[in-house]
Amino acid sequence: MKIIILPIVLTVFAAFTLPLSAQGDLVDKLAVQTCECISKKGPKNLSAEELQTQLGFCMLEAIGQNEAAFKKKYGDVSFTDQAAMTKVGEEVGTAMVYKCPDVMMKLAQTEIQSQPAATAAATGEINGTVKAIEGSELAQIVITDESGRAQKLVWFGYFEGSERFINEPRKTIGKKVKVEYREIEAYSPQAREYYARKEVLSITFLN
């Protein structure tokens, strides 16, 4: 079941950067049926493992209900074909972010909470205005701070306040916010050295 679930979880964090036109009729149908199925199972009361398992079953059930169309689009693939099912999970997961965002954010949140706690890092706070949301492989939120300086913060995982960036990314531009972040080190192959980055921990909208 992890073959399907992992790409869905990763997709939650960056799906808003993908064009909605990339979704096809079958993908949208699979997303809607999977969302309807998992919503009936009370996702708020499920553990991380239970939610992953049930979501995987729901997607397989949706695929089975659209077997002919699925084979026409993806070919006669096996559910154990990791490469093929990863592609399916990515496409359907992207559509699901827009069809049932609450369920997908719950999945992302439970994934983060189930991971071991990271080593304590320096934290800070920025008050400013949302300038832009950038990136394709890795999302960045650009904040213009009170001194007029553009601050780029990386979006690695779920954080409090992220729902508005997923549901209505364009409407967040120009909003005043308070951002909590932590300092991390990222390696640059081009520069061949580590450099400091700010990872978003939470964003509170002030207007």
Query: Tokens 């909003």 correspond to what residue?
Result: 175
Q: Is the dihedral of CA 44, 45, 46, 48 positive or negative?
A: positive
Count: domains in the chain: 2
pLDDT band at 18 (very low <50, low <70, confident <90, very high): very low
Mean pLDDT of the chain: 81
Evaluate whether 146 touches 127 at the Cβ level (below 8 Å). yes
**CA angle, corner 88, sides to 132 and 81, nearest 5?**
135
Query: Is 38 in the same domain as 127?
Result: no
pTM here?
0.47
87-120 pLDDT, tens digit each: 888 888 888 888 888 888 777 766 555 555 555 5
Instruction: Check whether residue 14 and residue 107 sit in a common domain.
Output: yes
Q: Based on the fold, state whether residues 153 and 91 are members of the same structural domain.
A: no
Residue 110 and residue 128 share a domain:
no
| Phi, psi (rounded to 5 degrees) for 79 | -65, -15
Q: State residue 41 phi and psi, 5-degree precision.
A: -95, 5
Q: How far is CA 196 from CA 135, 140, 145, 193, in A?
A: 18, 14, 18, 10
Q: Say if residue 26 is in the same domain as residue 79.
A: yes
Tell me the per-residue pLDDT of 133-178, one tens digit each, with 9 for 90 and over. Answer: 998 778 999 999 999 999 999 998 889 999 999 999 999 999 999 9
Residue 182 structural domain: 123-205
92 shares a domain with 9: yes
Kindly state whether residues 102 and 147 are assigned to the same domain.
no
